[in-house]
Amino acid sequence: MNMVLTQTTIPTPAGFPWLTLLVCIPMGFALAIWLIPWLRSIGKEICLAVSGAVLAGVLVVLFTSFDFAPDTPGAFQLGESYEWMPAIGLSWALGVNGLGMVMIILATALTPLVILASWRDDTDPNTAAGYAALILALESFMVLLFCARDLLLFYIAFEGMLVPLYFLVGRYGNGDAQVRRHAAIKFVLYSLVGGLVMLFGIIGVYVHSGGGDQAFHMDYLTSGNFHPGAAGMWMMMTFLVAFAIKAPMVPVHTWLPSTAAVARGGTSVLLVGVLDKVGTWGMIMFCWQLFPAASAKVAPVIVVLAVLSILWGALAAISQKDLLRLVSFTSVSHFGFMVLALYIGSQTAIEGAMLYMVAHGVSIAGLFLLSGWLTTRGGTQEIAAYRGFQRVTPTLAGLFLVSGLAAIALPGLSGFLPEYLILVGTFKLNIAAAMVSILGVVLASVYLLVPYLNMFTGPIDGAVRTAKDLNWREKFIMVPLVLAMFGLGVLPGPTLNLIKPDAALMYQAVSQSGSASAPEVIATNEGGAQ
């Protein structure tokens, strides 16, 4: 039986369209820069100002309009719903829950940092404006993905984000133009295949929800109007395939290293730090919420694939000679932890996965930005070409170490509590999966600390002597990232409190499907992770 859990969207206070503005303002300015030639001379300045204003707007919404303790735990707030194309069931329906708000904060906080990180990359103002405008357009899609309450609207954003990403990688990437185009095409093809497969599932949802002008609205679908029956399995699988590609899970992960190796550091920050989380977000919000019974049936297989991703990503990272490919493979391993937590059947692990979505975004941002600045100074991405950088670039070396330690879950930094919660929740239900996952933690210290020792310690190479340490702009960019790494490690409570109701709601779907075991039900009754 497919027990779909009811979701509730609370209207925005006073009817003010906060979320619509946060989605439309960045896209509007991006289009203006592309269409109005005289704006391009100050395009990057406009984009930086707009991205900063959007971040300020998100914080205003958080502290003035978002209810931290709603009457309905896990409810979507700031709801807006307008008919768009009622003939096909499409509506402009927006709303945000705790996890969505945290991800929107992450996306809008990283966007101005990425624009600032690329400030000196292009000498031509038109080129610089083009890159910054694409980042601004991408920000619109990121916000929309985490607040869309209409399934078809989510799909439009899911596919729409490929347009700016293609140009960010293919046109504004690094290295040989042909290699960039090949990587961009590979990325788009993987994503398009996943999206087209998901489209079949979306059509199935329309048919089994009875059609109508609200056929794709999540409130409608979760209010007893969606009855997939035996078709629930194949529909769920179409969504799962798309989200597994985005996650990225083994064996559909190969697009990521190719893309990260040629993309600018800032592009990789948003791609891996935020947009890849759409994979885990989709598993939470659509696979488990719409198809809990079908998701429970495939959970054992997904757990095996997640553990395989943890090990494969770690071992592949160890074998890399290219620094950016190494960093990208670490994310394959980290996403394995997140997916494992979502399918193991533990509320504690689910809380860890949701917290990891944020913590990983912060640490991977530091690693990609610092790796990009390092390779710019050294002129190559080959790890073996670097030696003794710590003596001439001590700030870069120190911040790289902090970001790496956060990524490998050192206590007191952002990665520790998420991995701890995931391993504790997994250990309660599947000791074998937990033990293999712990091996992934051990391998993490190898794939990050050994390259660090090779690149930053030892005698100074001749070419290294002329390298310059981070400038004031680069240091300024790293300050909020480092503060977030320590903040999430030392004071994770505020973030955890935002996402716990969403974890409880997802666990309710897991437990009703029969995927959870008795020990975890006891832990849940005691309050889950404290």
Taking alpha carbons only, the member of 134, 142, 150 closest to residue 108 is 142
Average pLDDT, the chain: 90
> With contact defined as beta carbons under 8 Å apart, do 323 and 260 qualify?
no
Identify the helix (H) or strand (E) that includes residue 84: strand 76-85
CA-to-CA distance for 373 and 396, rounded, in angstroms?
9
**Tell me: the pLDDT tens digits for 40-61?**
889 999 999 999 999 999 999 9
> With contact defined as beta carbons under 8 Å apart, do 177 and 112 qualify?
no
Q: How many residues does the chain have?
A: 530
Average pLDDT of the segment spanning 338-354:
95
DSSP 141-155: HHHHHTTB-BHHHHH
- Cis peptide leading into residue 251 (ω within 30°): yes
C-alpha angle with apex 356: 353 to 361, nearest 5 degrees?
140
| Predicted pLDDT at 131 | 93
Residue 25 scores a pLDDT above 90: yes
Instruction: Identify the residue with better confidence: 166 or 391.
Output: 166
pTM: 0.93
Average pLDDT of the segment spanning 397-422:
95
C-alpha distances (whole Å) from 110 to each of 23, 164, 518 are 16, 16, 40
CA-to-CA distance for 507 and 523, rounded, in angstroms?
12
Residues with Cβ within 8 Å of 425's Cβ and at least 6 positions away in sequence, in order, are: 341, 344, 346, 347, 348, 349, 350, 351, 352, 520
C-alpha distances (whole Å) from 428 to each of 301, 380, 431 are 18, 45, 7
| Predicted pLDDT at 400 | 96
Average pLDDT of the segment spanning 476-491:
96
| Beta-bridge partners for 519 | none
Instruction: Please report, for the chain, the start and end positions of each structural domain, with discontinuous segments joined by +.
Output: 1-254, 291-524
Half-sphere exposure of 457 (CA within 13 A, CB side): 7
Long-range contacts of 311-320 (CB under 8 A, 24+ apart): 311/336, 311/436, 311/439, 311/440, 311/443, 312/250, 313/250, 313/253, 313/440, 314/440, 314/443, 314/444, 314/446, 314/447, 315/443, 316/257, 317/443, 317/447, 317/448, 318/443, 318/446, 318/447, 318/450, 320/383
| Predicted pLDDT at 186 | 95
Confidence label for 224 from pLDDT (cuts 50, 70 and 90): confident
Instruction: Identify the residue with better confidence: 335 or 380.
Output: 335
CA-to-CA distance for 520 and 451, rounded, in angstroms?
39
DSSP tag of 273: I
Instruction: Classify strands 90-96 and 76-85 as parallel, antiparallel or unpaired.
Output: antiparallel
C-alpha angle with apex 345: 300 to 353, nearest 5 degrees?
105
Of 271-280, 360-369, 502-511, 513-522, give the lowest mean pLDDT range.
Answer: 513-522
| Predicted pLDDT at 521 | 38
| Predicted pLDDT at 126 | 86
**Tell me: the pLDDT tens digits for 131-143?**
999 999 999 999 9
CA-to-CA distance for 13 and 92, rounded, in angstroms?
17
Average pLDDT of the segment spanning 248-274:
93
Residue 12 scores a pLDDT above 90: no
Burial of 171 (0-12, 13-18, 19+ CB in 10 A): middle
Confidence label for 4 from pLDDT (cuts 50, 70 and 90): low
Of 10-14, 183-187, 248-252, give the lowest mean pLDDT range.
Answer: 10-14
The percent of residues in the chain predicted with pLDDT above 90, rounded, is 72
Greatest alpha-carbon span in the chain: 70
| Predicted pLDDT at 439 | 94
| Predicted pLDDT at 263 | 93
Instruction: Classify strands 9-11 and 76-85 as parallel, antiparallel or unpaired.
Output: parallel
Of 221-230, 240-249, 382-391, 513-522, give the lowest mean pLDDT range.
Answer: 513-522
C-alpha distances (whole Å) from 36 to each of 28, 42, 43, 529 are 12, 11, 10, 52
Q: What letters, b where the CB count within 10 A reaches 16 and e where it falls short, cover 343-363?
A: bbbbbbbbbbbbbbbbbbbbb
CA-to-CA distance for 234 and 294, rounded, in angstroms?
9
Average pLDDT of the segment spanning 487-503:
94
Residue 225 scores a pLDDT above 80: no
Instruction: Identify the residue with better confidence: 163 or 86.
Output: 163
DSSP 395-429: HHHHHHHHHHHHHTT-TTSTTHHHHHHHHHHHHHH
DSSP 204-231: HHHHHTT-STTTTBHHHIIIII---GGG
Instruction: Identify the residue with better confidence: 451 or 527.
Output: 451
| Predicted pLDDT at 520 | 45
Taking alpha carbons only, the member of 208, 332, 366 closest to residue 259 is 332
**Tell me: the pLDDT tens digits for 184-223?**
999 999 999 999 999 999 999 999 888 777 889 998 888 8
Residue 518 scores a pLDDT above 80: no
| 67: Cα separation from own chain's centroid | 24
The percent of residues in the chain predicted with pLDDT above 70, rounded, is 94
Residue 447 scores a pLDDT above 80: yes
* Residue position matching structure tokens 């400030």: 119
- Cis peptide leading into residue 248 (ω within 30°): yes
